[in-house]
Amino acid sequence: KRMADDKDVLRDVWYGRIPTCFTLYQDEITEREAEPYYLLLPRVSYITLVTDKVKKHFQKVMKQEDMEEMWFEYEGTPLKWHYPIGLLFDLHASNVALPWSITVHFKNFPERDLLHCPSNSLIEAHFMSTIKEADTLKHKGQVINDMQKKDHKQLWMGLQNDKFDQFWAMNRKLMEYPTEEGGFRYIPFRIYQTMSDRPFIQKLFRPVTAEGQSHTLGDLLKEVFPAAITNDDDQKKYQVVIHGIEPMLETPVQWLSEHLSYPDNFLHISVIPTPTD
Amino acid sequence: MMADARRAHSAGSAPKRAADSWKRHIARQLKQRDLAQKIMFQDVIRSYMVLLEKFKQKDQITRRLLGSAERCLPDSVSKNSSEMAVVQHEDQVTYLQKIGRELAYEVVDLQKSVRIKDSSLVGQRGRMSELKRRLGAVESECRSLRARVAEVQEGNRALKREYDSLLEQHRRMDETYRREEVRGSELLEDLIKGKELAAESMNSKNERRVQARAATLKKELETAVKKKVNIDIGSGNTQPTKRGALKEEVEEKAEKRPTRSFRSASATSPRILESIKELFEMRKRGSSVSSLEEDLCVPVGVCVVARVPAKALHVLDAHELGINAVKFSSSSKLLATGGTDRVIKVWDIKAGRMHSRGTLGGSNEGITSIEFDPTGTKILAASYDNSALFWKLDDCVPKLTLTGHSRKVTAAKFKCSLRQVVTGSADRTVKIWDLHRPACIRTIDVSSYCSDVVCSEYFIVSGHYDKKIRFWDSRASSCTQEVPAQGKVTSLDISLDHRQLLTCSRDESLQVMDLRMNNARMSFRADGFKCGSDSTKAIFSPDGSYVTAGSADGAVYIWNVNSGHLETCLSDMHCSSINAVSWSLSGEFVVSVDKSRRAVLWSDI
């Protein structure tokens, strides 16, 4: 029963969707009026990987020469394509009314904020390098390095084509660890904030204490971002969000890493201010 | 504080519930998230996509129509709008007709597939009815089989009843049979008692007759003593050799038929007196003149009390190579030895010494066994050269050579009739020969290396290397009995009364088997006794009271048959393994021969 529960969590994480409304930026030059385009975005994927249709939609009303590289922006913030969609949403738009309204640009690429994304192979390279980094933390990179080229391809194709079984058949190996150690060497995680100069916080953190006790999400935050923890008497200042939910602080980080990591094997944790209203 | 509480929680009494609570929380939150963000929107967005697609198609159609209208428009600017509409409608009509045609084609296709489905349906109905029919047949068959099962069960019950009654009958019969058997054995006992009585009376009659004979003899002797006799010494000295031979012959005759020999012999010879004295001595020793068989072919006066030898009278190297066989003649004064040097030597026993009397040649290989005929005038020997040889004592060339065996002949024995000879061989056969013809008249396949044979008139016993003793009916050539031995059988001997069989086997033991008492056996062993070879010969004493055999350590072992204990052990005279021993019929002498060509004459005095 418990195994089945865990598998259900993996499925729910994989099949998470965000309803999105793409609107063309008002200053873009069009031949006709551009209708908004609605789409369900997969949380675990990357925005440039799933927006071919959006591009086609707006092509119809624009001249070819007016179209440069497409980029997205939400309420003035350019959206980084190399962050998973779920993270972008949790970080920037957690508590707004749905659908998520994204503005589409074809001009004035914000070179300072965004990386160019000329093709899907760049996304693949980024994805694979992130997985490798995660495995370096978890197994000193032994598991990912023992895999063959086709196994790497299977991970990527599973993500690209939204094939849960294909992806997890391989990803399962990355989630294994020696039983006697009780978990990975270090937990691959990143903590993001909107109001910060640093893009994210990342530290070495073990899943179990020296005495063999499991570390919890609370332990992790206390170590890395103590401000995120609310004392009993105070009002809650921050929400700690992964995949659009707030896990309990008692949740063991090892379990979180196995079940709530993104396909790139990282726990992307958003710490956002509690909405005032 | 929270962290402490949490830790207490996870390490506390109900960690599982705690674990469940955070996990349940996550699962619940995920469901709620999907409800708010995914499920609420996915239908709307799917419909939106469908609408978008349809709109796109419509748009394309409109654009095509518009395009064709525009193509028409420049040609007929002057024509009125109705004409344009007509053209438009015609276009539409052709378009619709095209669609209609496509639909009709589809209809035809569908009809075709319907027909195919119908026919397959018919086929399946047919199959179904066929299956139903078969099901019916199987069911009826099942019913009939059930009926048969019941029938057979009934039959079985009847058979059981019948069997039970037969069993009861059998038990009754068995009882009767047992009763009858008891009665039969009682009758048999009576019969045996009767026979014993008859035999006793016969014995006493014989005794009386012998006593009467002795009495007359005594009387005659007394009268002879009273008479005055002139003894002619001179004539006796002039022809000593011839007379000697004659005397010996007379002596032998005297032993065989004492009364007659006494009558025919000239009473003047002192040697005759000596022989008569000897006869009396034997009588005094208390032997019983007995069985009919012995009367037939064994000379009278052989059944003596054997005297256990105690010292060596004469030791000599009798042959040039090892000696394999030794045998006394029935006269007890004559001895034959046979050796690996291919010859048989005949010896006279005189004054406690062995004197060579002659050599019998003719064998191409070593001699394995020797047998005298009861008259002591003929010798039968078995040889390594696959033959058996037959001599008359006065001729050193064999009278007959019996050839036919394919390997060495281990034993050759006279049958009681003296006309026939039995031989045993390493070629796994036993052959019976007729000396008159002379030829092999029967070959018995005995299935193993035969090391020795003994025979009576009607049966043959053979000893084998496969640790078996086999009994053969000599007329039918069939094996009547097979008795296991403890080891390889090296020799056999049968007592003079043919009641007991002696076997020597390589487990260093001798065994005596009572041939009349269910083959009851008795074993003889001794510390130090060891069979020297695969052909070591063990023998009965002439009265059957002792058994003896030579050992590998050069000692002669003698056991008492009645007590089963070792009587004596004669050692220190042989330096090598003893091959054979022989006990004179008078019971006085024993001769043992060994592998290193030595022969020793033993006696009690």
Q: Which residues of B touch A250 (CB under 8 A)?
A: 6, 9-10, 18, 21-22
No. of helices (H) and no. of strands (E), chain B: 9, 28
Enumerate the β-bridge partners of residue B461.
Answer: B454, B471
Of the candidates A14, A8, A70, the one whose C-alpha atom is nearest the C-alpha of residue A45 is: A14
Predicted confidence at residue B268, as pLDDT, reads 45
**Bond from prior residue into B438 cis (ω within 30 degrees of 0):** yes
What are the strands, taking DSSP E only, across B446-576?
Answer: 450-455, 459-464, 468-473, 478-484, 489-494, 500-505, 509-514, 521-524, 538-540, 546-550, 556-560, 566-570
CA dihedral B83, B85, B90, B92 (to 10 degrees): 170
For A77-92, what is the HEC assignment? EECCCCCCHHHHHHHH
Q: Which residues of A touch B9 (CB under 8 A)?
A: 250
Interface contact flag, B33 A244, Cβ < 8 Å: yes
| Cα A38 to Cα A19: distance, rounded to the nearest angstrom | 7
Burial class (CB in 10 A: 0-12, 13-18, 19+), B144: exposed
Q: Read off the pLDDT of residues B175-221 as tens digits, 9 standing for 90 and up.
A: 999 999 999 999 999 999 999 999 899 888 988 988 998 898 899 88
Residue tagged 């059981």 (tokens)? B160
Q: Phi first, then psi: what are they for A34, rounded to 5°? A: -90, 120
| Cα A121 to Cα B602: distance, rounded to the nearest angstrom | 121
- Going edge to edge, which strands form the sheet with B566-570? B538-540, B546-550, B556-560, B566-570
How many Cβ atoms are within 10 Å of A265's Cβ, its own excluded? 24
Interface contact flag, A216 B10, Cβ < 8 Å: yes
Predicted confidence at residue B10, as pLDDT, reads 41
Interface contact flag, A40 B41, Cβ < 8 Å: yes
| Residues contacting B335, CB < 8 A, separation 6+ | B326, B327, B328, B329, B346, B347, B348, B349, B354, B582, B591
Interface contact flag, B34 A214, Cβ < 8 Å: no
Predicted confidence at residue A205, as pLDDT, reads 94
Q: Read off the pLDDT of residues A55-102 as tens digits, 9 standing for 90 and up.
A: 989 988 888 888 889 999 999 999 999 999 999 999 999 888 889 999
Q: Which fold has domain B311-603?
A: Methylamine Dehydrogenase; Chain H (2.130.10)
Predicted confidence at residue B258, as pLDDT, reads 43
Predicted confidence at residue B267, as pLDDT, reads 43
| Residues contacting B574, CB < 8 A, separation 6+ | B550, B554, B555, B592, B594, B596, B598, B600
- Total residue count of chain A as it appears in this document: 277
Indicate which of A1, A3, A17, A231 best probes the interface with B, i.e. most B CBs within 10 Å of its own CB.
A17
Interface contact flag, A231 B1, Cβ < 8 Å: yes
Predicted confidence at residue A5, as pLDDT, reads 78
| Residues contacting A14, CB < 8 A, separation 6+ | A44, A164, A167
Burial class (CB in 10 A: 0-12, 13-18, 19+), B406: exposed
| Cα B391 to Cα B378: distance, rounded to the nearest angstrom | 6
Helix A149-160 × helix A164-174 angle, to 10°: 130
Interface contact flag, A245 B26, Cβ < 8 Å: yes
How distant is the alpha carbon of residue B400 from its chain centre? 37
Model-wide pTM > 0.80:
no
Q: Is B517 helix (H, G, I), strand (E, B) or coil?
A: coil
Predicted confidence at residue B298, as pLDDT, reads 43
Residue tagged 């048989």 (tokens)? B344
| Cα A221 to Cα B591: distance, rounded to the nearest angstrom | 119
Q: Which residues of B touch A17 (CB under 8 A)?
A: 34, 37-38, 41-42
| Residues contacting A118, CB < 8 A, separation 6+ | A69
Enter the tokens of residue B245. 């031979």
Of A15, A40, A250, Cβ closest to residue B22: A250
Predicted confidence at residue B288, as pLDDT, reads 42
Name the more confident of B243 and A204.
A204
Predicted confidence at residue A251, as pLDDT, reads 93
| Cα B544 to Cα B522: distance, rounded to the nearest angstrom | 14
Contact at 8 Å (CB) between B589 and B349?
A: yes
Predicted confidence at residue B305, as pLDDT, reads 77
B10 to chain A: closest CA residue:
A250
Interface contact flag, B27 A9, Cβ < 8 Å: yes
CA dihedral B396, B402, B406, B410 (to 10 degrees): -70
Query: Any CB–CB contact under 8 A between B17 and chain A?
Result: no
Interface contact flag, A250 B29, Cβ < 8 Å: no
Predicted confidence at residue A243, as pLDDT, reads 95
What is the amino acid identity at position A6? D
Of the candidates A43, A82, A170, the one whose C-alpha atom is nearest the C-alpha of residue B33 is: A43
Q: What confidence tier does A10 reach under pLDDT thresholds 50, 70, 90?
A: very high
How distant is the alpha carbon of residue A217 from its chain centre? 18
Residue A123 has pLDDT above 70, yes or no: yes
What is the amino acid identity at position B296? L
Contact at 8 Å (CB) between A244 and A86?
A: yes
Say what the ipTM of the complex is: 0.91
| Angle B184-B189-B192 from CA coordinates, rounded to 5° | 125
Of A5, A38, A244, Cβ closest to residue B27: A5
Which residues, given as ranges, of chain B have pLDDT below 50? 1-14, 76-78, 236-269, 281-301
| Cα B237 to Cα B239: distance, rounded to the nearest angstrom | 6
Of A17, A214, A246, Cβ closest to residue B38: A17
Q: Which residues of B touch A40 (CB under 8 A)?
A: 38, 41-42, 45
Interface contact flag, B34 A231, Cβ < 8 Å: no
Name the more confident of B588 and A216.
A216
Chain A: residues touching B (Cβ < 8 Å): 2, 5, 8-9, 12-13, 15-19, 38-40, 98-99, 213-214, 216, 218-219, 222, 229, 231-232, 243-252, 255, 259-260
Predicted confidence at residue B289, as pLDDT, reads 40
Q: Which domains are assigned to chain A?
A: 17-105 (3.10.20.620), 129-273 (3.10.20.90)
| Cα B599 to Cα B576: distance, rounded to the nearest angstrom | 11
How many Cβ atoms are within 10 Å of B69's Cβ, its own excluded? 14
Give the number of beta-carbon pairs within 8 Å between A and B.
Answer: 99
Beta strands A100-105 and A17-24 are parallel
Interface contact flag, A260 B34, Cβ < 8 Å: no
Q: Is A35 helix (H, G, I), strand (E, B) or coil?
A: coil
Which bin fits B471, alpha (ψ -120 to 50), beta or left (φ > 0)?
Answer: beta
Predicted confidence at residue A163, as pLDDT, reads 93
Interface contact flag, A39 B45, Cβ < 8 Å: yes
Of A39, A232, A250, Cβ closest to residue B18: A250
Of B2, B11, B32, Cβ closest to residue A229: B2
| Cα B229 to Cα B44: distance, rounded to the nearest angstrom | 170
| Cα B423 to Cα B409: distance, rounded to the nearest angstrom | 7
Query: Any CB–CB contact under 8 A between B22 and chain A?
Result: yes
Q: How far is A43 from chain B (nearest CA, A)?
A: 11
Q: Is A121 helix (H, G, I), strand (E, B) or coil?
A: helix
Of A15, A218, A247, Cβ closest to residue B3: A218
Domain boundaries, chain B: 105-185, 311-603
